[in-house]
Amino acid sequence: MDDIIKKRRSIRRFQDRPIAAETLADLFEAARYSPSWGNLQCWELVVVRVAEDKKKLASLLSEKNPAGKCTETAPILLGICGDPQKSGYYKGVQVTRYQHWFLYDLGIISQTLCLKAWEQGLGSVIIGSFDHKAAEEVLQVPSGLELVAIIALGYPDHDPPAPKRREVEEFVHYDRFPMP
């Protein structure tokens, strides 16, 4: 597990090799077990397979986005959608200071997908920076749901180094934050 967590990298170049239906089924089976607010499981995933649609989605990333090319060439894109009115709400009323707990749930399922994919020999990159509204139109996301991220998925065709991480001492604070 430690190995999978530490070795997983964002992959932005994929082999021209399809992902078997059984592999995808195993991936989604694992994703089912992601934790979520009140176990409400507010997520909906769109599996994008059609080349034309991938091309349209790729055109919605800014030119500077390093995932632009792989959005077009990945064998599969996953549209990570969710219902913004479930997590953090009780009978339609917001119950904490945060309105957008669904983003948290979608982050968790995204991490499950990326780690399980890595275990399966698949690479992935989470893409959050694109024209969300136009992408929702491409994927025909129903009203009441929001498309938050796209995950490009495929067999890795490069082995990038890990970007630098903060040291543990920098972000773990025992008992309380130190006095300023």
Ligand X SMILES: Cc1cc2nc3c(=O)[nH]c(=O)nc-3n(C[C@H](O)[C@H](O)[C@H](O)COP(=O)(O)O)c2cc1C
Residue ranges in contact with ligand X by CB under 6 A: 9-10, 12, 65-67, 125-129, 162-163
* Smaller CB separation from ligand X, 95 or 158: 158
Minimal distance in Å, beta carbon 14 to ligand X?
13
Minimal distance in Å, beta carbon 107 to ligand X?
7
* Smaller CB separation from ligand X, 69 or 86: 69
* Smaller CB separation from ligand X, 21 or 34: 34
For ligand X, which residue has the nearest CB?
A: 128
Side-chain-side CA neighbours of 159 within 13 Å: the count stands at 2
Minimal distance in Å, beta carbon 54 to ligand X?
15
* Smaller CB separation from ligand X, 93 or 168: 168
Minimal distance in Å, beta carbon 143 to ligand X?
24
